[in-house]
Amino acid sequence: MEVVIAPADELARLAADAVERLVRTKPDAVLGLATGSSPLKVYDELARRHAEDGLSFAGARAFMLDEYVGLPAEHPERYRNVIEKEIASRVDFAPGAVQGPDGLAEDLPTACAAYERAIVDAGGVDLQILGIGTDGHIAFNEPGSSLASRTRIKTLTQQTREDNARFFDDDIDKVPHHCLTQGLATIMSARHLVLLATGKGKAEAVHQLAEGAVSALWPATIMQMHPHATVLVDDAAASRLQLAGYYRQTFASKPGWQGL
CB of 77 to ligand GLP, least distance (A): 11
- 65 vs 260, beta carbon nearer ligand GLP: 65
Query: Which residues have CB under 8 Å from 194's CB, separation 6+?
Result: 15, 18, 127, 128, 129, 130, 230, 232, 260
135 catalytic residue (yes or no):
yes
Q: Which residue type, as a one-letter code, is found at position 247?
A: Y
Find the shortest distance in angstroms from Cβ 179 to ligand GLP.
7
Shortest CB 248 distance to ligand GLP, Å: 23
CB-nearer residue toward ligand GLP: 66 or 116: 66
Catalytic residue among 126, 135, 163, 234: 135
142 in catalytic set: yes
Residue 181 CB, nearest approach to ligand GLP (Å): 7
Q: Which residue is nearest to ligand GLP (CB)?
A: 131
| Catalytically annotated residue among 20, 126, 137, 163 | 137
Residue 56 vs 159, nearer CB to ligand GLP: 159
Question: Among this protein's residues, is 66 annotated catalytic?
Answer: yes
Catalytic residue selected from 20, 45, 66, 67? 66
C-beta of 5 vs 55, nearer to ligand GLP = 5
- The footprint of ligand GLP (CB under 6 A) covers 34-38, 65-66, 131-133, 139-140, 160, 164
Which residues are the active-site residues?
66, 135, 137, 142
